[in-house]
Structure 1
């Protein structure tokens, strides 16, 4: 079985996306920008719920494709 590059691991790639999103939220945290009376950071955190759910779905599908390739 051929060895896969660790840099192509789905978990590592998706973790980088999560870290970048978290950095964007925490860097923006002190800013007092309000949209519809709610801080922009609050909106980013709310959108993050859907972003994390989407990443979880992508991760599961990606891993299953890799396992299917390895089984055949």
Structure 2
């Protein structure tokens, strides 16, 4: 391997390492985003349940209770 091939090989290896590190960073960010979305969906579902319970309680009050 002459000096040019060695330089080219070293440059490619550096680029591969850089790309692997960037990929790991993006995977980590993606995981964090997915967790954030899941937490938001869970909070939204809980809020929806609370709203449904509040509406049911209000209906019960308006209707004078369950007989």
* TM-score, normalised via structure 2 length: 0.47
The answer to which structure, 1 or 2, has the higher relative contact order (CA under 8 A, 6+ apart) is: 1
Q: State the structure with more CA Rg.
A: 2
* TM-score, normalised via structure 1 length: 0.44
Q: Which has the higher helix share?
A: 2
